[in-house]
Structure 1
């Protein structure tokens, strides 16, 4: 009985001691805080693009004959006027010889008819013969002269056909595959061209904008007409299929005259210099189109939290009490969001640790570390949502 009483007394004293110990208050979390500021930033919208040479031509024969020689290799760089193929010219050389002979015969007939006119002219003048014979001779001369002109045209045509037996490059550029083998019979009506030739000293890159993107594009730049706006558009970048960026910037210089009713988009063309021939017709890539955003706020992505498809930041108010604000995101610039609404220039926001904050919670603001100090300028890898 004494042991039980002693144990009960010990427990009672211990409980009283716990009740008398002071409760320690939880300190507010120390979190980095910085103000947001308004500025002008550039983001980039990316569009799939197809690449073509400034000139893409099919090389086709203009006369029928046997392909006697192929003078170039597939993929070769050729100059304008350089011979590419040679068709057997024997039939066309004979046609030229025949045409020249016919021209000479026609010239002889003209000479003979002229002699007759010259013979009858004085006789008519002296009234030795009637003028009917002179008129007949003059008509014969006119017909002979017309036949001579026809013969000369036949010679020129035969010479042109003979020249066509040597097929030359219409422009400088790079050849495609050689589709026809030596010894084949070729002609102008063949379904398949001999090869293709691309002039790629410059390349045209085609991409399409939807209606909304086109309206945004049109409103971004000053100018009354689209041509004036294009002149003010900064150079654009081309990202190749391996995700590398083409070293030279291009210029958007053409907007198609109408929207495609099937796709609801309009085609734009950007031209890039290609002196080294790195780009070829048929390549694909991505155009990065710059878009200016004046008077926009930058908020670090690390300072946001997503809840129920909305993005929030925690603004620091009086007494260091935070309040949660939904923001409208226009795009992304490096590690920062471009914000249209939700915060104002000069508002202080929590930069880190927002995942564990609650609305109306009190914090202890601290200066941000150098690496995460307040949002700055956009980086070159900016992308637009």
Structure 2
């Protein structure tokens, strides 16, 4: 048998050719397998974005106070003899709240009355003297000087009676101050004193605070930006005129329930606070059932009617680097993430002023499985039905 001898160069070319053939064969196999296993586009629900009138709400932190919070203070000094009410109790106007030891003031009153009786007796004596001297002077039995002296004594006695009467009234008033009564209907606040405590007029702390709360005031503040938006939103040449055009407001309580009675904004301060740059407002709420108390906190909720705004369900959006995005559908059924300009919220919806146009379609569900450029099979959903479902 004849042996075939190949040169080194021919051998290398033969090896390279074999490697190329094997590589092309493997590539063809892999391409066929990939083509055979490529999945179809996933079917995802899409909705058409539309504009419609909506109501948005802005909340402002508020603190509540009674229409009058009256400090109950002593007007005489003495020991606290009795406390007739408990903290948090409802009291009526004229009801006795506290009793200060009245013995000293009773004695002062009795002394003043005795002095009045003495002054009246001196006046009567002076009157008798004037009556006695008058005919004697007319008969030239005594000099006119004596009658003038008697009349002067009478005038002094009359002045003493008036002074004594004033002292009696002052002592009577002080004696009455030992019985401290409620100046109005309302609820009693904390009572920092106990029976036997020394009470003085000049003390810093009141005996208690009586909250007259058949009406409640809710105080809240707006930032400068909120105030500018408020002025632009409502008609009127002045702030007070604009307040008159404000709709009734809601009070959201600390547990996020809404107080059943709406309130009315009545007052605004004339200038911004230098400390925090806010301006204060006050809203008034009826409180017939006494559900609200001074010291409560909550939020004032202002409604804002927006005539036409694009509504995008929050479920159909995602956040990336502090921006809100939605996947919009192109003509070729590819999805493209678009940043949205969000101007507010209404329930479970974003109010959008930029990034999308009315009639544009976006992916409603399944956005966590998407990325830019992915082709989907859109399933168009009824926008009104989606809106109702998202509002629940």
- Interval containing the TM-score (normalised by the shorter chain): 0.7 to 0.9
What is the TM-score of this pair, normalised by structure 1? 0.81
1:253 alignment partner in structure 2: 266
Match of 1:152 among 151, 165, 185: 165
Question: Which stretches in structure 2 are left out of the alignment for 5+ residues?
Answer: 1-23
Task: Spell out the pairing of 1:60-79 with structure 2 (5 A cutoff).
Answer: 60-79=73-92
Tell whether 2:318 aligns with 1:291.
Answer: no
1:232-275, CA deviations, whole angstroms, 9 ceiling, x for partnerless residues? 32233333333333333333222223222111122222222222
Contact 1:299–1:336 under 8 Å retained in 2: yes
**Match of 1:155, SS?**
helix
Out of 315-324 and 48-57, give the one that drifted further. 315-324
Correspondence for 1:43 among 50, 56, 62: 56
Matched-pair contact (CA < 8 Å) for 1:333–1:378: no
Q: Displacement of 1:71 after TM fit?
A: 1.9
Structure 1 counterpart SS, 2:202? coil
Does the C-alpha gap of structure 1 residues 379 and 124 become closer, same or farther in structure 2, counting only changes over 3 Å? farther
1:214 aligns with 2:227: yes
Identify the residue that residue 383 of structure 1 maps to in structure 2. Answer: none
Pick which of 306-315 and 223-232 moved more. Answer: 306-315
Matches within 5 A, 1:1-385: 30-124=43-137, 130-316=143-329, 324-355=337-368, 364-368=377-381, 373=385, 375=387
List per-residue Cα deviations over 1:291-315 (Å, max 9, x = no partner).
Answer: 3333322112233343443333344
SS across alignment from 1:233: coil
Paired with 1:56 and 1:313, the residues of 2 have a C-alpha distance of 52
Instruction: Determine the C-alpha separation between the residues in 2 that align with 1:154 and 1:16.
Output: 122
Show CA shifts across 1:125-171 (max 9, x none). Answer: 56665544443333333322222211111111011011111111122
Cα distance, 1:314–1:178 mapped onto 2, change above 3 Å: closer
Pair member with larger Rg:
2
Q: Is the 8 A contact 1:217 1:291 kept in 2?
A: no
Distance in 2, Cα, partners of 1:195 & 1:189: 15
Q: TM-score, normalised by structure 2?
A: 0.79
Q: Encode CA deviations 1:278-299: one digit per residue, 9 max, x unaligned.
A: 3322222233332333332211
Aligned residue pairs total 368
Partner Cα separation in structure 1 for residue 171 and residue 26 of structure 2: 125
2:18 maps to: none
Go from structure 1 to structure 2 and tell me whether the alpha carbon gap of 1:359 and 1:183 turns closer, same or farther (over 3 Å shift).
Answer: closer
SS at match of 1:278: coil
Are the equivalent residues in 2 in contact too, given 1:220–1:292 (CA < 8 A)? Answer: no
After superposition, the Cα gap between the structure-2 partners of 1:15 and 1:142, relative to the gap in structure 1 and judged at 3 Å, is closer
Deviates more, 1:231-240 or 1:71-80: 231-240
Are the structure 2 counterparts of residues 237 and 262 from structure 1 closer, same or farther at C-alpha, using a change threshold of 3 Å? same
Cα deviations across residues 192-219 of structure 1 (Å, max 9, x unaligned)?
A: 4333322232322222222112222232
- In structure 2, relative to structure 1, the CA distance for the partners of 1:46 and 1:122 (3 Å cut) is same
8 Å CA contact retained: 1:329, 1:337: yes
Aligned counterparts of 1:228 and 1:20: Cα–Cα separation in 2? 77
Task: Deviation per CA, 1:47-76: give whole Å up to 9, x if none.
Answer: 332222222233232212222222223322
3-state SS in 1 of match to 2:71: strand
Aligned partners of 2:342 and 2:351 also within 8 Å: yes
